[in-house]
Structure 1
Amino acid sequence: MHALLIVNPNATSTTAAGRDLLAHALASRVRLTVTHTTHRGHASELARRAREDATGLIIVHGGDGTVNEVVNGLLGVPHPTRLTDLPVGPIPPIAVVPGGSANVFARSLGISPDPVEATNQVIDLIGHRTSRRIGLAHCDERWFTFNAGLGLDAQVCEAVEAHRSAGKLATPGQYLRATVRAFFAAKGAEPSLTAEVPGHEPVEGVHFAFVSNTSPWTYLNARPIHTNPGTTYDGGLGLFAMRSTRLGTTLRVARQLLAPGASPHSKSLLRVDDAARIRLTSSRPIGLQMDGDYIGLRDRVEFVSVPDALDVVAPPAR
């Protein structure tokens, strides 16, 4: 089988020695071509070309941004008005060896965050032909893998990107500090969002909303965040929308998010765990993030779940 290894050499936790080890180990299992990305969007271009060339497998060594680019290159621009959102023809499966600062997607699939351990894990999975098919989601003419959102999380992603642009590492502590700053900066603002989910009454007065494609997910190393425990890659989308920024309410819900086995609930929380579509509208432009990348200001976004969208080299779902 011919496999393409797409490497982001600028990803946080990649090293030249680690990349050489990964390539050498993979070459013992597959006929391997190695390509390094050189600019933003390059991974998407490489993935699109690999699909056109009928490459058997794409292996991504980078962070969540690189994975997102590869997925969008493989699947193209989603078209909700067509009979299917997916392109015609075979789509090669992907495998991920983490190389970024958060590696949320890889963790959510059960892949080790340590690049060396993940390399051995992926090689074993390839050798045993172990994979699973997962659902994805899209909004704003772009695919995402694990989550998206409007408001607080987008502000955090924007702040972390600025931190990275200044040459600093995006650590879990940085995500936490950015979250605290963004929360208090927006605390006095009037809620601008309205959430609409088929089968539910529209809910106004929302301050911020997460839309998840899986649970749990996390930017805090191994500490999982359970916004929507009933949401999986095998089902629809999860909506977590807060109608209050009171400190006491927020802290109670935050404790629930971090508690093993918890099911977040509050009078101020709108939570739906299996939705085919979610529409969020805002009375003023508000930030949008997808897979940890800040996209920009939007006032209307529709999130669409697409089942069975992509094959991934990963352990079976638990």
Structure 2
Amino acid sequence: MRVMLVTNPFATFTTPAGRDTLANTLSARYDVDVEHTTHRGHAGELGARAAAEGYDAVVVHGGDGTVNEVVNGMLGAPDSTPVDPAALPSLGVVPGGSANVFARALGIDRDPIVATAQLITLLDAGSRRPISLGYTLNRWFLFNAGMGMDAIVVRRMEDKRRAGKKATAQRYLRTTLGAFFVPSITPPSFTVEVPESAPIEGVRFGFVSNTGPWTYLGTRPIATNPGTDFDHGLGVFAATSVGVLRNILLGSQLLQGSADPHAKHLYRDDDVDWVRFTGAEPADVQMDGDYLGKHQEMEFGCRRSVLHVAARSLEHTPT
């Protein structure tokens, strides 16, 4: 089996020793080419090369941003000619970032050593399964995208990372709470449209999910759309208020793992084919935890069975 191992040496929780151990472990069983990313966009270039050169699998050791780049490179842009996923390498992930939402949604353990053992078992058994992906701005997203408050949090976290601070779960929580409690942080409102429903006006923050959970707080999964998964359409979660009390009550439902998060200021649907966000002025946008700047209009779609991943059935308890 020919495998490309893509590692991000700048990911939050990767180490030289850990990367070497992973490379040596895989090389003992497969024909492995090890590639270390060196710049933004490099992982996408490597994903495109792996697809073009007919690798059997691509294993990514890094965070969600690195995995997102690799997938976009493998598949090409959503508006390009679709590729048969069976003709592409299967994708495997060994977590190395701070959240690792995509890997954990696939049932991959947070511990890189355990995850490597899981991955070898899957590769040896030829376990591949198709998953759906979302797309917007002519890019694929793996698990979620958002406009408004969550994107503001991502922007503020990126500022902190550039200042040399690690992206820990505790820092994400503090940054999120700070965004809601600081009066000067007021995201512009926008309208959300979904099929067969009246437009939702005055939305202050909205998420579009391709799977659940939406994120993790340490070991605790946060599922904004519990019924959304890799086999169906998109989940939409749109709130018309950034009021502290209202959102503390809503947040407590998410922290408690509610199967039906609800509130008077919330619109939620767990399975739609498309979503459109439109605002009178540009608002902050994020995709898979990567800040994309400010946009006035966003259209989200979903394509079924577009990528094969090294995984068994995804009916599992999130790790």
TM-score, normalization by structure 2: 0.94
**Stretch moving more, 58-67 or 210-219:** 210-219
Task: Pick the aligned partner of 1:234 from 225, 231, 234.
Answer: 231
1:143-180 per-position Cα deviation (integer Å, ceiling 9, x unaligned): 11000000011111111111111111100011111111
RMSD: 1.6
Match of 1:12 in 2: 12
Count, aligned residues:
314
Task: Pick the aligned partner of 1:162 from 153, 159, 163.
Answer: 159
Kept after mapping to 1: 8 A contact 2:188/2:283: no
Kept after mapping to 2: 8 A contact 1:217/1:225: yes
Task: Pick the aligned partner of 1:132 from 129, 132, 136.
Answer: 129
Match of 2:266 in 1: 269
Match of 1:121 in 2: 118
The amino acid of 2:284's aligned partner reads G
Equivalences for 1:116-265 in 2 at 5 Å? 116-185=113-182, 189=186, 192-265=189-262
Match of 1:104 in 2: 101
Q: Report the 3-state secondary structure (helix = DSSP H, G, I; strand = E; otherwise coil) of the residue aligned with 1:54.
A: coil
Kept after mapping to 1: 8 A contact 2:235/2:268: yes
Q: Report the 3-state secondary structure (helix = DSSP H, G, I; strand = E; otherwise coil) of the residue aligned with 2:182.
A: helix
Q: Distance in 2 between matches of 1:188 and 1:44?
A: 34
Q: Report the 3-state secondary structure (helix = DSSP H, G, I; strand = E; otherwise coil) of the residue aligned with 1:198.
A: coil
Kept after mapping to 2: 8 A contact 1:191/1:243: no
Equivalences for 1:280-295 in 2 at 5 Å? 280-295=277-292
The amino acid of 1:128's aligned partner reads A
Kept after mapping to 2: 8 A contact 1:131/1:316: no
CA distance 1:131–1:87, shift in 2 (3 Å): closer
Pairing 1:46–2:46 present: yes
Percent sequence identity over aligned pairs: 51
The amino acid of 1:21's aligned partner reads T
1:113-150 per-position Cα deviation (integer Å, ceiling 9, x unaligned): 11111111111111122222110011011111000000
Q: Distance in 1 between matches of 2:204 and 2:166?
A: 29
Match of 1:66 in 2: 66
Q: Distance in 2 between matches of 1:262 and 1:286?
A: 29
Deviation for aligned residue 1:241: 0.4
Kept after mapping to 2: 8 A contact 1:136/1:233: yes
The amino acid of 2:83's aligned partner reads P
Q: Distance in 1 between matches of 2:65 and 2:88?
A: 20
**Stretch moving more, 294-303 or 158-167:** 158-167
Q: Distance in 2 between matches of 1:158 and 1:294?
A: 6
Q: Report the 3-state secondary structure (helix = DSSP H, G, I; strand = E; otherwise coil) of the residue aligned with 1:264.
A: coil
In structure 2, stretches of 5+ residues that fail to align are: none
